[in-house]
């Protein structure tokens, strides 16, 4: 099973827009990852791929995750949300109730073929 550090390295190497968003989210959710190990591995792979801009994207994601973390809007893994709040921090919307309609009891039973009444 991949550790958060491994996923962060994979996302940094991929470097697409969605991967960079995922990278920022991973760094925000797991602030205690080994950044020295991550930086070393990303720089090593960037050198092999001859793409030094990969490490620039990693540093940008690290900075962005620190900004998000400092705002205090993110929960650590395993931490429960405040009662009544959704993931976004807004109150949960109330569920809409279905309008009730009265159906005659005769329509609730299965229609059986019966002989005509006399």
Q: What is the pLDDT of residues 43-62, one digit of tens each?
A: 999 999 888 888 888 999 99
Element holding 36 (H helix, E strand): helix 35-49
Pair 66, 17: CB distance under 8 Å: no
Q: Which residue has tokens 């893994």?
A: 77
pTM: 0.59
Q: Is 86 exposed, middle or buried (0-12, 13-18, 19+ CB in 10 A)?
A: exposed
Distance between CA atoms of residues 106 and 109, nearest Å? 6
Which residues, other chains included, contact 49 with Cβ-Cβ below 8 Å and sequence gap of 6+? 13
Residues 6+ positions from 52 with CB-CB distance below 8 Å: 46
> CA torsion sign, 80 to 85 to 86 to 92?
positive
Half-sphere exposure of 34 toward its Cβ, with a 13 Å CA cutoff? 9
pLDDT at 55: 87
Percentage of residues of the chain with pLDDT beyond 90: 35
Which range (20-24, 40-44, 69-73, 94-98) has the least confidence? 94-98
Q: For residues 42 and 53, is the Cβ–Cβ distance under 8 A?
A: no
């Amino acid at each position: 099973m991949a550790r958060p550090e491994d996923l962060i390295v994979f996302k940094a190497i991929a470097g697409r827009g969605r991967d960079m968003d995922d990278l920022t989210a991973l760094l925000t959710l797991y602030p205690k990852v080994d950044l020295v190990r991550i930086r070393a591995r990303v720089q090593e792979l960037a050198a092999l791929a001859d793409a030094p801009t990969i490490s620039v994207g990693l540093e940008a994601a690290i900075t962005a995750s620190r900004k998000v973390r400092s705002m205090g809007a993110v929960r650590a893994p395993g931490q429960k949300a405040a009662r009544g709040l959704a993931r976004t921090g807004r109150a949960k919307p109330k569920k809409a109730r279905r309008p009730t309609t009265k159906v005659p009891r005769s329509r609730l039973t299965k229609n059986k073929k019966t002989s005509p009444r006399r």
